[in-house]
């Protein structure tokens, strides 16, 4: 998961099935975003759905080969979590505005300018595609304070209620009791 993902050249039926599985995984885990390499596929695909948790209203956006062209606006501090790092939440400072280009499932080029929560989720997932975890973006002090907890999570001692791929690529099966 620390490796950079590779570009999608052609939209195949396998990818179509894979994306449907990604969406299912994300919704099962009450997530609002997921990157392909979090579930063991090293391609450049991310999905986001900022409405899925709070309003239980599904409106996923699928981004293939996304590139953030521009970061702008204010620095905003906001608490993040990650399906790959269960039970860990910490503030991360990110730019509010982004301009992003990506391909949709018809391999049509799309452009999106956004801010707020949607911008934040996209930046977090875009980081995943580049092998960066949000724990690398917290302050060194906070990271030092969380070292023990993070090590426990990474070694699989903290089990989430959904199947997940650990940073070392291993599959961790869900602990249904902990839901
Ligand atoms: Co994440």
For residue 87, the CA-to-ligand 1 centroid distance in Å is: 12
Q: For position 179, what pLDDT does the model report?
A: 39
Work out the widest C-alpha separation in the chain, in whole angstroms.
46
SS3 114: strand
**Model confidence at 167: pLDDT above 60:** no
Long-range contacts, stretch 172-176, CB < 8 angstroms, 24+ apart: none
Q: For position 177, what pLDDT does the model report?
A: 47
pLDDT category of residue 131 using cuts at 50, 70 and 90: very high
Pairwise CA distance, residues 140 & 8, whole Å: 35
Active site residue 170: no
Q: For position 87, what pLDDT does the model report?
A: 83
Mean pLDDT value across residues 168-174: 66
For residue 86, the CA-to-ligand 1 centroid distance in Å is: 10
Q: For position 147, what pLDDT does the model report?
A: 87
Pairwise CA distance, residues 84 & 71, whole Å: 25
pLDDT category of residue 168 using cuts at 50, 70 and 90: low
For residue 34, the CA-to-ligand 1 centroid distance in Å is: 7
For residue 130, the CA-to-ligand 1 centroid distance in Å is: 12
Mean pLDDT value across residues 107-133: 97
Residue among 7, 50, 125, 154 flagged as catalytic: 125
Residues with Cβ within 8 Å of 149's Cβ and at least 6 positions away in sequence, in order, are 88
């Amino acid at each position: 998961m620390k490796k950079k993902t590779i570009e999608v050249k052609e939209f195949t039926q396998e990818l179509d099935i894979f994306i449907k599985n990604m969406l299912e995984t994300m919704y099962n885990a009450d997530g609002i975003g997921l990157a392909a390499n979090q579930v063991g596929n090293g391609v450049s695909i991310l999905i986001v759905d900022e409405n899925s948790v709070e309003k239980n209203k599904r409106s996923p956006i699928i981004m293939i080969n996304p590139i953030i062209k521009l970061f702008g606006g204010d620095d905003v501090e906001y608490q993040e979590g990650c399906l790959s790092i269960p039970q860990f939440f910490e503030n991360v400072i990110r730019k509010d505005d982004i301009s992003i280009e990506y391909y949709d499932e018809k391999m049509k080029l799309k452009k999106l300018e956004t801010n707020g929560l949607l911008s934040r989720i996209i930046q977090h997932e875009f980081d995943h595609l580049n092998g960066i975890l949000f724990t690398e973006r917290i302050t060194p002090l906070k990271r030092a304070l969380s070292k023990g907890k993070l090590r426990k999570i990474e070694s699989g001692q903290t089990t989430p209620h959904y199947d997940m791929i650990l940073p070392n690529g291993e599959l961790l099966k869900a602990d249904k009791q902990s839901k």
